[in-house]
């Protein structure tokens, strides 16, 4: 396995990495425990994490769940950045992305060469990577990493090596065809940012999801009252 060194500090949003005994970290542990219960019962291990719109916290969710599931539950975990238009997993963990998923799909390297060891035992990260302008066919075809057989081939190669494969997927709206992802993964987790996602937008997004693949939703940035004050959990 290729081990890349940190290029930058992990994002502040990766709160569970350093804060082991906080309410926020406990919420992520509880979230994973619920997902694990459902997934083991229904045989789901490849789970896409998405949202209705950009900026609702799906990368934060994906990254924190990946750390918690590997470190606190002893799972073998692979986190894949599957959002080509806005790849954010590398920034979240402070790792380089000179090579990654797109390079594997383009047959420029093997998965073992592109993967990065995560900051906790049991966690592996596959960032989006970068292609040269001459070879970058993905820019000319929206969602090419999903519509081609490349993603399916990658997942077929790795699924036997991991207990969970988390995919930071593109947001559903305004254009992405979520049915493409639904056909590729075992389950879908929806992230909803409280106070910013309207009912109309959420309803439109839910309509395009394959209902049999949705394992649940997560409210991001909700506030829970503790005594005389409110605690912003970040995740609830």
Rounded to two decimals, what is the model's pTM?
0.85
Looking at residue 135, its pLDDT comes to: 61
pLDDT at 7 over 70: no
**51: β partners:** 191
Question: Quick one: which of 216, 235, 228, 222 has its CA closest to 15?
Answer: 235
Looking at residue 134, its pLDDT comes to: 60
User: Is it true that domain 19-232 has CATH number 3.40.50.300?
Assistant: yes
Q: Tell me the percentage of the chain whose pLDDT exceeds 70.
A: 75
* Sequence spans of domains, the chain: 19-232
What are the distances in angstroms from CA 218 to CA 144, 152, 182? 28, 26, 18
pLDDT at 228 over 90: no
Q: Tell me the percentage of the chain whose pLDDT exceeds 90.
A: 47
pLDDT tens digits, residue range 182-215?
Answer: 889 999 998 887 766 666 666 666 666 666 788 8
């Amino acid at each position: 396995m290729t081990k890349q060194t940190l290029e930058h500090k992990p994002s502040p949003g990766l709160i569970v990495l350093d804060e082991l005994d906080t309410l926020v970290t406990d919420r992520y542990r509880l979230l994973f425990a619920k997902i694990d219960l459902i997934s083991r019962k229904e045989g789901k291990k490849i789970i896409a994490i998405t949202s209705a719109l950009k900026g609702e916290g799906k990368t934060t969710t994906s990254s924190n769940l990946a750390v918690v599931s590997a470190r606190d539950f002893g799972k073998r975990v692979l986190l894949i950045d599957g959002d080509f238009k806005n790849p954010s997993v590398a920034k979240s963990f402070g790792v380089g992305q000179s090579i990654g998923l797109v390079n594997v799909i383009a047959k420029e390297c093997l998965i073992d060469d592109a993967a990065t060891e995560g900051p906790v035992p049991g966690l592996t990260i596959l960032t989006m990577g970068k292609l040269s302008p001459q070879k970058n066919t993905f820019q000319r075809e929206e969602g090419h990493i999903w519509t081609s057989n490349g993603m399916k081939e990658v997942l077929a190669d790795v699924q036997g090596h991991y207990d969970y494969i988390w995919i930071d997927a593109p947001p559903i709206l305004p254009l992405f065809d979520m049915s493409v992802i639904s056909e590729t993964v075992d389950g879908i987790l929806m992230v909803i940012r409280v106070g910013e996602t309207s009912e109309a937008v959420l309803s439109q997004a839910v309509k395009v999801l394959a209902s049999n693949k949705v394992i649940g939703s997560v409210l991001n940035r909700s506030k829970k009252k503790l005594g005389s004050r409110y605690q912003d959990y970040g995740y609830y």
